[in-house]
Amino acid sequence: MRKFLAVLHARNMEFLRDRSALAWNLAMPFMLVIGLAFTFSSSDRDIYKIGLVGGLDKLHSVAPALQSTRYISYVPYDDLNAAIGKVKHHQMDMLIDVSGTPRYWINSSSPSGYLLERIVRGAEGHRFERQVVEGAEIRYVDWFLPGILGMNMMFACLFGVGFVIVRYRKNGFLKRLKATPLGAFQFLFAQLISRLLLIMLVTMIVYTGCNFFIEFNMQGSYWTLLLVTTLGAMSMISIGLLIAARTASEELAGGILNLVVWPMMLLSGAWFSLEGAQVWVQKISLIFPLTHMISAARAIMNEGATLLQVMPHVWVLALMSIFFVAIGAYVFKWE
C-alpha cells in the first residue's frame, strides 16, 4: 500500500504542477458547453422526425400517402413506452403505431407535432386514433452535455495516461523503477486512480460551473450519474494503460490512440444520435465504453433512469475496466 500511495502522490503532483494542462482541461469543456448552449438554443428543425412502431411495410399498407410525404424521417421502435417517452420530452415530433389499431401520439406543446398532425389528417383523413402526451422539452444542450463531458474525459483518459507512460519508458524512468520493489499492477493501478481522481474533480467543477449559468435538466439521481461516469472514466483509462503497456514510441502511441479515439468519438453518440442508423453501426458502437457511458448518462439526466435501468451499461463498463487493466499489467514492459 505504501508503494502504491507513493506513486499515486507523485503522479498527482506532477499533473497539478503542469498549470497549462490543468487550465486547458478546465477551460475547454466550459467553452464548448456554453458556446453550444447559445448556438443551438433555437428550437427550429429542418426535418420532421416520426417514431414508428410496427414497421414501414405496415405503414405503407395503412397510410401510403403519409409514407410518401417528403421531408419526414421515420425512426423504428420496438418498445412503445420508450417511444412515447421520446415524444414526451420533445425528442421525437410524433409517434405512430401501426402494429394494431392505427394511432399516433403528439406532445400538446410541440409546434412540430401540431403541424405533423395536420399533415397526417390531410393525407389520411381520420384513419388514425389521436393520443396526446405532455412533458417538458429536452433542450439540445441538455442532450449534448453528456457527449461533451464524455468526449473531454475520453481525451484526458487516453492521451493523459498513454503519453505519460510512454514518456516514462522513453526517458528511462520506468527502467529505474524496475529496480524498486514496485510491481507492474501497483504502478498501473496508481496511474489509473490518480488520473481518475483528477478527471472526476475537473468534470464535477465543469458541470457545476456550467450548471450555474445554464441550469441543466436532471431527472435522475446524481449518485447514479457519478457511478456511471466513474466507471466510464476507469474503462477508458484502462484502455490507455493497455496501449502504453509495451509501446516505446510516442509517435506509435499517438497513432494507436487516434485509431481508438476517432471511431469512439464518431460512433458513441457524442455528436449525434444513432437512432435510425444502420443496425450494424449501432452494434459496432457497443464495443466502445464511451457509448455505454453517454447512453446511461443521458437516460439518467433526461429520462430519470434508475440504477437498475442502466445496470447493463454499468456491468459492461466494470468488466471492461477489469479486463483491460489485467491484460495491461500482464503484458507490461518496464524497458
Are 212 and 93 contained in the same domain? no
Please report, in angstroms and rounded to a whole number, the separation of the first and last CA atoms in the chain: 24
Residues 149 and 77 in one domain: no
Strands 103-107 and 94-97: antiparallel
The strand pairing partners of 72, in sequence order, are 48
21 and 69, same domain (yes or no): no
Give the three-state DSSP class for 280.
Answer: helix
CATH number of the domain that residue 111 is part of: 3.40.190
Distance of CA 80 to the CA centre of its chain: 24
pLDDT the model gives residue 45 = 47
Question: For position 123, what pLDDT does the model report?
Answer: 64
**C-alpha closest to that of 76 among 52, 111, 94:** 52
- Nearest CA among 152, 284, 114, 133 for reference residue 229: 152
| Chosen domain end from 92, 107, 133 | 133
**Residue 238 shares a structural domain with residue 298:** yes
Helix axes 19-39, 140-170, angle to 10 degrees: 160
- 54 and 26 belong to one structural domain: no
Domain boundary (89, 113, 133) is at 133
Sign of the Cα pseudo-torsion (201, 297, 256, 319, in order): positive
Q: Sheet harboring 129-133: ordered strands across?
A: 72-77, 48-53, 94-97, 103-107, 129-133
Comparing CA positions, the residue from 116, 80, 122, 85 lying closest to residue 101 is: 80
What radius of gyration, in Å, describes the C-alpha atoms of the chain?
24
Domain ranges, residue 306: 2-39+139-331
Residues 124 and 146 in one domain: no
What's the pLDDT at 19?
A: 67
pLDDT of residue 223: 93
Same domain, 156 and 27: yes
Task: Indicate whether 73 and 129 sit together in one domain.
Answer: yes
Regarding whether 312 and 190 lie in a shared domain, the answer is yes
Q: What span, in angstroms and rounded, lies between the C-alpha atoms of 1 and 6? A: 9
Q: Are 135 and 88 in contact (CB under 8 A)?
A: yes
**β-strand 72-77 against 103-107: which pairing, if any?**
unpaired
Q: Which pLDDT score is estimated for 135?
A: 65
At residue 103, φ and ψ (nearest 5 deg) are -155, 160
Query: How many beta carbons lie within 10 A of that of residue 201, not counting itself?
Result: 12
Q: State the total domains in the chain.
A: 2
Final residue before a domain boundary, out of 133, 162, 187: 133
Q: Name the stretches of the chain with pLDDT < 50.
A: 44-46
Same domain, 93 and 64: yes
Q: Does residue 215 share a domain with residue 154?
A: yes
> Are 212 and 117 part of one and the same domain?
no
Single-letter amino acid code for the residue at 166: V
| Strand residue runs (E) in 279-318 | none
